[in-house]
Chains A and B, each alone.
Chain A
Amino acid sequence: MERFYTLVFVAGVGCFAIAFLLSMIFPWMSLYSYHGMDYHTLEQLAEKPSAEFVQLSEKFPASFKEHYGTVSPESYAKALQRGRDVYVGQACWHCHSQYVRVVSNEHVRWGAPSSAQEYQNALNQPHLWGTRRVGPDLAREGGKKTNDWHIAHFINPKSVVPHSVMPPYPFYFDAQGIPNADGIALVTYLQWLGTVQAGIPVAERVTP
């Protein structure tokens, strides 16, 4: 049994392949065959720019025009992708998860539990589910808070959440609090989260 070729091909390749089949190919097949999921490209996601994106263009016309031009599906797609890039690059997803479970009253706090379909798109490739929640889950973040709240929060989290341990990100804004290209992108991306699923996000409800 413990000969070179057995070790390489049975233990090495064989056992790996069985696990690959059972824990990757099977879920992948059943997700597609039973749920008939459609994949959404970035262009499809960005067909209708969000109200928050329009509001950013109106509130910060100079910065917006410089980095994104006018509000259009193309500029919205550009902002979403860049926002995701910053979110990944700064490792935001290591402290904020992006899925709501059916347990621990998470639906009360954040809204409907996550379904597989809402992750079938270009902005979840690779997914950003995360494994740790130092800050709240962000799967239903879009539309919950205003752009102004997010900008104030990024410049100094403690100004709006006194006990926050999130680091400030002042370098995405100038001295007057006007967002640069990354700042606009980050807010646009956060306001997009959860909007794939139909319905209005549930505001975070907490005990007094």
Chain B
Amino acid sequence: MSASTTLAAHGEPLVNYRLIKAHIFAGAVALSISMIAGFLYSLQFVGYFPLGHDNWMLTPGHMRLLHTNMAAYGWLVNGFTAMLYYVVPRLTGHKVLSDKLGGLIFAAWQLILALSIFGYLTDKAQAIEWGETPTGFRPGTFEMNYVPVDLLVVVGAVLVIVQFMVPIFKARDQKFYVTLWYFTAGLVWLALTYLMGNIMPEWMLPGAAGAATTGLFIHDLVGLYVTPMGWGLMYFFVPLILRRPIWSHSLSVIGFWALAFFYPLGGVHHFLISPIPDYVEFGAITTTIAIEVVVTTVVVNFFMTLRGRWSALRTSMAIRWFYVGAVFYFITCLQCAFQVTWLFQRVIHFTDWVVGHAHLIMFGVFTFWLFGVIEWLWPRVCKREWYSQTLRGWHFWLWSVGVMIMFFDLMIAGLVHGFMQRDLNDWSDILRMSEPFWWVRAFSGVMILVGLFCALYNMYMTAKAGAAYQEDKHYIPANAD
């Protein structure tokens, strides 16, 4: 798998490392904004919001919008795009469509992010969860009141699809590896999902039917863009680093088609016991539980690929991020199979339980997998070895422990809130009981922030002063263990 990174015929580089570097840099900036905004937001809950309350732009509500949207559209999209620039040319043997187009996509996407940030701060957010990117029109009308960022995102997504679909299309007569199935379908899903979620509830569907659509949008964004990218990168990088094939190709076929069929059907589970018709809710609950079976096959495949090579968890930081992320992934999905039932929903919906779930999947799983990718790519991009092993360790442990503390803390807080709400306690008492949990959450946020700064400093120093790069050091020797 350690193929040469140049085209034999032309001798020109297959992978454009400058674009990868640019996207990783932009992703790191967006992740920092997201983490800082999230931390400031968490301080509001314990009564110490540091920005004060006299400014209508820097309010806690706006911090929340920055936190979620910068994590999704700033960090994950930039990170996955960097990853695609490395993986797609290597799997297809063709360069991406154009380096110039790559520059345009990069610039356009950062412009979208800047316009979004300004839009959130000036009350222009759209009322669609995870899709708050400003629509640019007055709600439900075609009168413009801001830059139509939604439309720019669609244009940007189409450019991304063209950029990566062209090499995949050129290789269509080859036998596709599982990673490419996920990327091909995932890129198609991304465009469809974004169009559906941002256009239909805004102009066509009020109320309950709109809620079914926005539920489907939240779900599809995670399930049909983030998940295929995440699974695809795991199926690529793990065998690459371990220098062994995945355990079972049959299981990966099952995983792919079951994801494609079952995952989008669960969309309505974001609004259970609601005015949406019950038969739709039951369908969503059933398929969500089915997804847990799918996820199990995929996670089993990941772990069986590592069988007998457990020392890689010690020797390769990338493998460590990938597999701790995979453990978190299994926890999150198992939790999902339970929390989607009405039995759990009546207590945990509307509480911090769901917030903890979202944090584990966003910052515990997909962020971990992207950190694994960055662990692998950054030395290649900079042509230097990592500057400090200690900082790499601190980054990993602060994040792992911090995310776990936050997850369990919010889970318990959610149960406390849910049962107190059911038992008709005074709302102020619910807040008072939640306060210790919010302190712990803010504390775990500090751990995560410090871990992030360790990583950023290490990346900066690697680019500036790392030792000379050695390709072979990064693979796990075949005779390990």
Contacts and interface: CB of A to CB of B under 8 A. Distances in A.
B162 to A, nearest CB: 13
A144 B284 CA distance: 35
B208 interface: yes
A190 to B, nearest CB: 15
A49 interface: no
A74 interface: no
Nearest to A34: B277
Q: Which of B54, B205, B432 has the most CB of A within 10 A?
A: B205
Nearest to A29: B209
A69 interface: no
Contacts of A93: 127
Nearest to B53: A168
Interface size class of A (residues with CB under 8 A): 35 or more
Contacts of B185: 7-8, 11-12
A120 B205 CA distance: 9
Given A99-B275, A104-B346, A116-B208, A15 B139 contact: no
Given A24-B216, A102-B273, A126-B127, A16 B208 contact: no
Given A3-B176, A120-B206, A132-B354, A109 B214 contact: no
B169 interface: yes
A28 interface: yes
Interface in B57-105: 59-62, 64-65
Interface in B386-440: 418, 421-428, 431-432
Interface stretch (B261-269, B322-330, B457-465, B470-478): B261-269
Given A3-B172, A24-B213, A168-B53, A31 B139 contact: no
B444 interface: no
Contacts of B214: 126-127
B189 A131 contact: no
A47 B367 CA distance: 50
A109 B280 CA distance: 27
Interface string B121-133: 0111111110000
Contact of B188 (A13, A119, A136): A13
A46 to B, nearest CB: 14
A85 B277 CA distance: 28
A23 B212 contact: yes
Given A24-B216, A167-B60, A126 B126 contact: yes
Interface stretch (B17-25, B42-50, B233-241, B297-305): B42-50
Given A104-B422, A105-B424, A127-B211, A91 B172 contact: no
B168 A4 contact: yes
A14 B421 CA distance: 42
Interface string B198-215: 001110011111111111
Interface string A73-89: 00000000100111011
B274 interface: yes
B2 interface: no
A197 B205 CA distance: 20
Contacts of A130: 350
Given A4-B169, A105-B422, A15 B261 contact: yes
B227 to A, nearest CB: 13
Given A99-B274, A109-B424, A163 B181 contact: no
Contacts of B382: none
B274 A165 contact: no
B184 interface: yes
Contacts of B138: 85
Contacts of A94: 61, 64-65, 129
B224 to A, nearest CB: 7
A154 B210 CA distance: 30
A130 B218 CA distance: 12
A101 B216 CA distance: 20
A27 B212 contact: yes
A7 B127 contact: no
A90 B59 contact: yes
Contact of B209 (A31, A91, A99): A31
A22 interface: yes
A85 B210 contact: no
A92 B61 contact: yes
Interface of B: 44-45, 47, 49, 53-56, 59-62, 64-65, 122-129, 138-140, 168-169, 172, 175-176, 178, 181, 184-185, 188-189, 192-193, 196, 200-202, 205-216, 220, 224, 253, 256-257, 260-261, 264-265, 267-268, 270-271, 273-277, 280, 283-284, 342, 345-347, 349-351, 354-355, 418, 421-428, 431-432
23 contacts: A16-B188, A16-B192, A18-B265, A19-B265, A23-B265, A27-B268, A30-B277, A81-B139, A84-B139, A85-B123, A88-B123, A89-B124, A89-B125, A91-B125, A97-B350, A103-B345, A104-B346, A104-B347, A105-B423, A119-B211, A126-B139, A127-B207, A130-B350
Interface of A: 1-5, 7-8, 11-13, 15-16, 18-20, 22-24, 26-28, 30-32, 39, 81, 84-86, 88-95, 97, 99, 101-106, 108-109, 114-116, 118-122, 124-136, 161-165, 167-171, 204-207
Given A18-B261, A28-B209, 15 more contacts: A11-B181, A11-B188, A20-B196, A86-B123, A89-B123, A90-B62, A101-B274, A116-B275, A122-B140, A122-B206, A125-B139, A126-B128, A127-B127, A131-B349, A163-B428
Report, nearest first, the 10 A-B pairs whose CB atoms are least far apart. A89-B123, A119-B207, A12-B188, A19-B264, A91-B61, A125-B206, A4-B172, A103-B346, A116-B275, A28-B209
